[in-house]
């Protein structure tokens, strides 16, 4: 997976590659789907949600340019795999998941995989962020939003970096939004397709 799906597709951050190599992705996939764990595809994890394909998860992590000292907010924790990857790259990760049963499963997955020591899973509306521990040096959003939720931008440290899929429900652009000295810069990394970001500042229907 690391050589064919990540390195050959221009993932260059060696810390991201090493984390992807070490984290047992199969621990974050339902037992009945574990044969698909290392496929270059999203995999259903129940509740109408998916674990993103390995390349997209690695790309989002690389875009955050983490160096190990950061506090990160992970929106749309799902089964916990992205939180595990971010936890290997940053000091602390707060991962928020809208579906309580999925949040509970993510906690179990992280514990079983042995990579959740610096990761906290919260059940809640990720579109509103998690202000208790803001500001965040980096924010990763693994669900498609109609626009960047204002709450997330407010909780982003200056300087800070946010990666998020933005666009209609069917297809989105993966954007990296940077905040520095009060100025905002945004760039499109790739086209993508994520499950919708549900919540007060996401999709409400």
Cβ contact 130:94 at 8 Å: yes
Instruction: With cut-offs at 50, 70 and 90, classify the pLDDT of residue 192.
Output: very high
**Structure-block tokens of residue 173:** 């652009």
Q: Is residue 59 part of a domain?
A: yes
Q: Is residue 202 part of a domain?
A: no
Could you tell me the sign of the dihedral formed by the alpha carbons of 163, 30, 114, 99, in that order? positive
At how many degrees (to 10) do helices 14-22 and 54-63 cross?
Answer: 140
Q: Is residue 203 part of a domain?
A: no
Q: Is residue 98 part of a domain?
A: yes
Q: Is residue 200 part of a domain?
A: no
Q: Is residue 7 part of a domain?
A: yes
pLDDT digits (tens, 9 = 90+) for 123-156: 999 999 999 999 999 999 999 999 999 999 999 9
The Cβ-side half-sphere exposure at 73, using a 13 Å CA radius, reads 31
pLDDT digits (tens, 9 = 90+) for 18-43: 999 999 999 999 999 999 999 999 99
- Structural domain span for residue 38: 2-192
CATH number, domain with residue 48: 3.40.50.150
Q: Is residue 137 part of a domain?
A: yes
Cβ contact 162:148 at 8 Å: yes
Count of domains observed in the chain: 1
Active-site positions read 52
Q: Is residue 171 part of a domain?
A: yes
The Cα 181–Cα 53 span in angstroms is 34
């Amino acid at each position: 997976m690391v050589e064919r799906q990540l390195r050959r597709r221009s993932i260059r951050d060696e810390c991201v590659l090493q984390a992807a190599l070490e984290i047992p992705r199969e621990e974050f996939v339902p037992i009945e789907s574990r044969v698909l764990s290392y496929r270059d595809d999203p995999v259903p994890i129940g509740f109408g949600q998916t674990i993103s394909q390995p390349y997209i998860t690695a790309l989002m992590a690389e875009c955050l340019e983490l160096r190990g000292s950061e506090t990160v907010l992970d929106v749309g924790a799902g089964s916990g795999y992205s939180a595990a990857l971010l936890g290997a790259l940053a000091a602390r990760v707060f991962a928020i998941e809208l579906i309580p049963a999925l949040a509970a499963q993510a906690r179990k997955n992280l514990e079983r995989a042995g990579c959740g020591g610096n990761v906290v899973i919260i059940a809640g509306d990720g579109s509103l962020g998690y202000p208790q521990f803001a500001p965040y040096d980096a924010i990763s959003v693994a669900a498609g939003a109609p626009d960047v939720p204002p709450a997330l931008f407010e909780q982003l440290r200056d300087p800070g970096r946010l990666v998020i899929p933005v666009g209609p429900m069917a297809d989105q652009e993966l954007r990296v939004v940077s905040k520095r000295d009060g100025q905002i810069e945004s760039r499109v990394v790739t086209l993508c397709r994520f499950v919708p970001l549900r919540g007060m500042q996401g999709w409400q229907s």
